Amino acid sequence: MSEKSQILEHEATVLVTRELKIGKFKKEVVDKRQELEQLSVHRFVTEPAKLSLGKGLTVGFGNFQFGRFDVGLSYPCYVEEIPEVLELMDQYVEDRLQREAENIRQFFQALQRK
> What are 47-72's pLDDT values in tens digits?
889 999 999 988 887 777 778 889 99
Q: Looking at residue 24, what is its pLDDT?
A: 64
CA distance 6 to 20: 46
The string of pLDDT tens digits covering residues 5-28 is 465 667 788 888 888 777 666 677
What are the φ/ψ torsions at residue 86 (nearest 5 degrees)? Answer: -60, -40
Q: Looking at residue 2, what is its pLDDT?
A: 39
Give the residue from 101, 89, 16, 17 showing the smallest Cα distance to 53: 89
Given a contact cutoff of 8 angstroms between Cβ atoms, the answer to whether 56 and 70 are in contact is: yes
- Residue 56 three-state SS: strand
CA distance 6 to 3: 5
- pTM for the full predicted model: 0.74
